[in-house]
Chains A and B, each alone.
Chain A
Amino acid sequence: MSHDHEEHVREHDKPLSGPALRVKALESLLVEKGLVDPKALDAIIDLYETKVGPHNGARVVARAWTDPGFKRRLLTDAAAAIDEVGFGGQEGEDMVVLENTPKVHNMVVCTLCSCYPWPVLGLPPVWYKSAPYRARAVIDPRGVLKELGLLLSEDVEVRVWDSTAELRYLVLPERPAGTDGWTEERLAALVTRDAMVGVAKVLPPKAAAG
């Protein structure tokens, strides 16, 4: 959002802005009190900036596209199947995977806050946490998708999943045409975060490249 952007720009060429200053003061206080170790903060940030992210979910999706047995397990006990690929943990303990088909389009929202499957998608992007998506995904999912460039025909059923409890949702997008015989690794490179939230489709290789 533009406010975030202004904040970001300001931080680099001017003295610390309001929240930056207040967070810095809070960190100093908690460190001085012996409640927080700043090195642990560095480690947490590093984990979510460099290790955990949508590339994890992309590997899960690519495996489901190439391994029917895995796909079956993923759709019946998602957390256990995701654990096979090596992912799991906080905000991913109880997972549900939703399969998109030519007739059914699933999309995920958290209208009350920002619930999101961290182990497979990392931390949620600003749009997912913001008022327009949280307000509109349930009342006007087709309008939201259209605004994002995904026009669904009337005969496609749209299912919106509002993450109101501790279940976390991952969308298994449709495998795009033109990828016959592709390896899991190559397929994973096509899979986007937005497709795994259900606000986009995975594009065929030519369109993805262009």
Chain B
Amino acid sequence: MNGVHDMGGMHGMGPMEIEKDEPVFHSRWEARMYALQRAAGFHGRWNSDMSRFSRERMPPADYLAATYYERWLFGLQTLLVEQNLVTAQELATGRAATKADESAVLRASDVAALMRGRSSARVAAEVPPTFKPGDSVIARTINPAGHTRLPRYVRGRRGTVHIDHGVFTFPDTNAMRRDPKPQHCYSVRFGARELWGPQVSARDSAYLDLFEDYLDAA
């Protein structure tokens, strides 16, 4: 979706500020929020593409005004209701109407193994690649209303395939209908001037990891 989360190249967002000795969480509710997302995700009702899409759907004015973990709160509430783990009524009242029948609840003793575990989006499927390193490609001009990982700032721009990373699940379909649609994901180099015009350095470039469905041969 063409949302405000797709920020690459926007102006007016203000100066960079790096907080010295920044804590991992700025308050307890941020820490609880982070952990709630991980623990609720353990039930397997959604994938990480669905999680990202849940946060992208926060209304744009709210998204920009919110702190990071407020966006997570919005996203988790959205997923919990959409995936029938809680009802909208329960969320509104804060009272459980029924007990969940989920047997596999994440326990403290499972946490280290869960976080150390590998849930790679890489897929073992044999899918022939359309492109190879060195190929010229154009990022497609598409405007999906659903989730996509093709930022606006490269659409219609010409780049060069740098590396073929191999076969991965495709976020666009995986977020919208749990269809992994395995395909090659490529590192594509775009010259800074191709993206931003003659005022930027001709030496500089941006590398994006783009799926086969985002690319045409140039």
Contacts and interface: CB of A to CB of B under 8 A. Distances in A.
A114 to B, nearest CB: 7
B126 interface: no
Interface string B95-130: 110111010011111111011111111100000000
Nearest to A105: B204
B93 to A, nearest CB: 9
Given A1-B17, A4-B26, A40-B39, A89 B208 contact: no
B216 interface: no
A122 interface: yes
B28 interface: yes
A34 B102 contact: yes
Interface string B21-40: 01011111101111110111
A1 B13 contact: no
Contact of A30 (B7, B27, B86): B86
Indicate the size class of the contact surface on chain B: 35 or more
Interface string B61-82: 0001001111001001100100
Top 4 A-B pairs ranked by shortest CB distance? A111-B8, A165-B209, A93-B120, A41-B35
Contacts of B77: 26
A204 interface: no
Interface stretch (A59-67, A139-147, A173-181): A139-147
A189 interface: no
A49 B68 contact: no
Nearest to B9: A139
Contacts of B177: none
B86 A136 contact: no
Contacts of B19: 125-127
Nearest to B118: A93
Interface of A: 1, 3-5, 7-8, 11, 16, 19-20, 22-30, 32-37, 39-45, 47-49, 52-53, 88-90, 93-94, 96, 109, 111-114, 122-123, 125-127, 129-142, 144, 147-148, 154-167, 194, 199
B217 interface: no
A134 to B, nearest CB: 4
B165 interface: yes
Contact of B115 (A29, A44, A140, A162): A44
Give the interface centre of A8, A11, A29 by most chain B CB atoms within 10 Å.
A29
Nearest to A193: B22
Given A23-B32, A40-B107, A93 B122 contact: yes
A135 B119 contact: no
Nearest to B117: A89
6 contacts: A30-B36, A34-B99, A35-B43, A36-B105, A111-B153, A137-B8
